Structure 1
Amino acid sequence: MLNKRKDGPKSFLVSVSCPQCAKKSEHSTARVNKNKKLICPFCNTLFLSNSPASSSPANFSLRK
């Protein structure tokens, strides 16, 4: 199954900001809606998509 880009009529990807580095990346809409953990491709931080920006969520980094 191929994902369509955000510009298409049916969007399968959504842009989400990383709470650690604040960079935006695209993630599956299904994963975001199901409140699954997401991984930032820039800093390798695991985070939940609906975490509030004002509080510091428990982040896990995969860096060694």
Structure 2
Amino acid sequence: MPEITIRLYEGRTDEQKQEIVEVFTRELSRIIDREPDYISIEFNEIPWDENVPDNLKSAQSQKQGGEKT
């Protein structure tokens, strides 16, 4: 069973994660000729640190009504 673990900063939406799952599953299935039902994807979300990308900070700030995080 192929397993993919994705480590990324917390704060991504469920919609973003679902799209990642769909795309990775579809493409891995195609490349290795294995049914999608056998592919597993896990997200490991890590807390923000000094390396968090500006676009994620900006998106989070907009969701919180302009509050600084």
Please give the TM-score of this superposition, normalised by the length of structure 2: 0.23
Whichever of the two has the greater Rg, that structure is: 2
Q: Name the structure with the higher strand share.
A: 1
**Whose RCO is larger (CA < 8 A, sep 6+)?**
2
